[in-house]
Amino acid sequence: VIDAIADVLRSPHNASSIHASGRAAKSLLEQSRRTIAAHLGCFPAELIFTSCGTEANNMALKGVAAGSIAVTATEHSSVLQCVPAAYKIPVDANGVLKMDALEQWLQHTTAPALVSVMLANNETGVIQPIAEIATLVHRYGGWLHCDAVQAYGKIPVDIGLLRADMISISAHKIGGGQGAGALFIANHLPCAPLLHGGGQEQNRRAGTENLAAIVGFAYATDLTLGMMGQWQANLRRWLNTLEDIACATFPDDNIVFGKDAPRLPNTSLLRIPTLPSETQLIHCDLNHIAASAGSACSSGRITHSHVVEAMLGTGQGGDVLRISGGWHTTQEDIAAVSALWQKLAQKHKHLNQ
Ligand code: PLP
């Protein structure tokens, strides 16, 4: 990926120029679009490159002329902050959207409805039944946007199966480098641009494309999706074992969030009441384990998790620890976390004696 990006940066050209090197840049841009579109199962013309997943989410939610908007209560801040007045669809204790609440809202709302539901949650890894939700939303004449930023590269994101009308993805979640995202917009759906100016991206997103980041995105897509299924199964097994060890080491009242729902292969969110997450984070850091308390997008701040609050109720969102890994995570990395917990449990016992 680094080489693919560096090659473009060594001879930077604008894909909108009509001279030979501009045409070469355009050809790279369109090849990248075809690569990602083929993996998603859409037409290349249905894919708009953006600067990141946040922009793709904003474009989807602000560009469609909807009569009313609903989003899941556990969405990423780039959805929640974008449409703060939207109806928040509640989730159950496992973090799965409550279908009856969505249907009730669809029955009484101003058409056409726009509904935004993430494929997988960034804090818990919980996967939503997108195809089922799409069927319901379409039955009421609405449109479904799906934030697949966290899921892309970890589980299949197939537009034909998911049947969402818009889907957001982001390059840096799959090792593609920062600075590129994309929004799939189905041919039938009118979506106005967020950025106005030149005619790039079929007049749907003005601004010179970040060609190096886009080429890296396509390259990473090929690599990551080519490895699909090779690391995922092992990692989920190791994380399940880690969760079991947490429960055995701290038997009093610990919580594994979303345990009974389908989850991404790479994410575990836990709460161990006897060990504040701040203590765990400090010890993780000292032991070169890069864990986080909830969402890394609010980095630098340890805030209450709105995701956990949506699942368990107000006031419940504190003291969570998220362990996540990827294709590069080894069994030893995961074992290092359980060794750390065992050490902390000993210390804790000692202090309480
Ligand atoms: N949606 C989800 C579920 C995410 O996890 C993130 C980032 O972590 C985003 C959207 C935003 O993507 P980006 O960082 O590319 O703006």
Percentage with pLDDT > 70 across the chain: 96
Q: Which residue has the higher pLDDT, 303 or 20?
A: 20
CA 131, CA 117: separation in Å to the nearest integer? Answer: 11
Of the candidates 172, 95, 164, 157, the residue with the CA atom closest to the CA atom of residue 136: 164
Q: What is the mean pLDDT of residues 246-273?
A: 90
Q: How confident is the model at residue 197 (pLDDT cuts 50, 70, 90)?
A: very high
Query: Ligand 1 centre from 183 Cα, in Å?
Result: 13
Query: In this model, does residue 12 exceed pLDDT 80?
Result: no
Task: Choose the residue to mutate in 149, 152, 306 for probing ligand 1, maximizing ligand atoms within 8 Å of C-beta.
Answer: 149
178 contacts 210 by C-beta, under 8 angstroms: no
Q: What is the mean pLDDT of residues 333-346?
A: 91
Q: Which atom of ligand 1 is nearest to the CA of 52?
A: 15
Q: What is the mean pLDDT of residues 246-253?
A: 84
**Which residues does a 6 A CB cutoff place in the pocket of ligand 1?**
52-54, 57, 76, 78, 118, 122, 147, 149-150, 170, 172, 181, 297
Q: What is the pLDDT of residue 309?
A: 94
Q: What is the pLDDT of residue 42?
A: 98
Q: What is the pLDDT of residue 253?
A: 72
Computed over every residue of the chain, the mean pLDDT equals 93
Q: What is the pLDDT of residue 317?
A: 81
Q: What is the mean pLDDT of residues 97-105?
A: 98
Which residue do the tokens 């984070």 mark?
281
Ramachandran quadrant class, 319 (left: phi over 0; alpha: psi -120 to 50; beta: rest): left
Query: Ligand 1 centre from 237 Cα, in Å?
Result: 25
**What secondary structure does DSSP assign to 186-235, as a single string?**
-TT-----SS-SS-HHHHTS-S---HHHHHHHHHHHHHHHHTTTTSHHHH
Query: In this model, does residue 349 exceed pLDDT 80?
Result: no
Query: In this model, does residue 174 exceed pLDDT 60?
Result: yes
Q: Is residue 297 flagged as an active site residue?
A: yes
Q: What is the pLDDT of residue 175?
A: 94
Query: Ligand 1 centre from 36 Cα, in Å?
Result: 18
Exposed/middle/buried for residue 3 (C-beta within 10 Å: 0-12, 13-18, 19+): exposed
Give 202-223 pLDDT, tens digit per residue.
999 999 999 999 999 999 999 9
Query: In this model, does residue 76 exceed pLDDT 80?
Result: yes
DSSP bridge partners of 145:
116, 166
Q: What is the pLDDT of residue 322?
A: 94
What is this structure's pTM?
0.95
Q: How confident is the model at residue 16 (pLDDT cuts 50, 70, 90)?
A: confident
Query: Ligand 1 centre from 201 Cα, in Å?
Result: 21
Q: What is the mean pLDDT of residues 75-86?
A: 98
Active-site position among 52, 146, 191, 297: 297
Residue 165, SS3 per DSSP: coil
Give 276-312 pLDDT, tens digit per residue.
888 889 999 999 999 988 655 555 566 789 999 999 9
